[in-house]
Amino acid sequence: MAGMGKTAADVIKYAQENGAKVVDLKFVDLPGLWHHFSIPVSELTEDLFAEGIGFDGSSIRGFQRIEESDMNLFLDPETAVMDPVTEVPTLSVICNVRSPITNESYSRDPRYVAQKAEAFLKTSGVGDTSYWGPEAECFIFDGIRFDQNAQSGYYFIESEEGIWNSGKAEGQNLGYKPRHKGGYFPVAPMDSLQDVRTEIMLTMQDVGVPVEMHHHEVATAGQAEFDIRYDTLVRMGDHVMMYKYVAKNVAFKHGKTVTFMPKPIFGDNGSGMHTHQSIWKNGKNVFHDASGAYAQLSDTALYYIGGLLKHAAAILAFAAPTTNSYRRLVPGYEAPVKLAYSQANRSACIRIPIYSASEKAKRIEFRPPDPSCNPYLAFPAMLMAGLDGVKKRIHPGEALDKDLYDLPPEEALAVKSTPGSLAEVLAALRADHDFLLEGGVFTQDLIDTWIDWKTENEVDAVALRPHPYEFFLYYDI
- Point out the catalytic residue in the list 137, 142, 161, 458: 137
Q: Is 274 marked active-site?
A: yes
Q: Kindly name the residue from 46, 56, 403, 434 that is annotated as catalytic.
A: 56
Question: Is 411 tagged catalytic?
Answer: no
Q: Is 225 an annotated catalytic residue?
A: yes
Residue 170 annotated as catalytic: no
Instruction: Indicate if 68 belongs to the active site.
Output: no
Q: Is 346 marked active-site?
A: yes
Q: Does 135 participate in catalysis according to the annotation?
A: yes
Catalytic one of 367, 388, 433, 458? 367
Residue in 29, 78, 83, 135 annotated catalytic: 135
The torsion angle over the Cα atoms of residues 428, 430, 432 and 436, rounded to 10 degrees, is 120
Choosing from 35, 254, 346, 430, the catalytic residue is 346
Give dist(CA 352, CA 344) in Å, integer.
Answer: 6
Active-site residue identified among 29, 160, 225, 458: 225
Choose the catalytic residue: 118, 217, 231, 458: 217
Which of 235, 239, 274, 433 is an active site residue? Answer: 274
Q: What is the rounded CA–CA span in Å between residue 256 and residue 397?
A: 46
Active site residue 470: no
Is residue 67 part of the annotated active site? The answer reads: no
- List, in sequence order, every residue forming a beta bridge with 246; answer none if it has no partner: none
Choose, from 289, 365, 388, 458, the residue flagged as catalytic: 365
Instruction: Cite the active site residues.
Output: 56, 135, 137, 217, 225, 274, 346, 365, 367
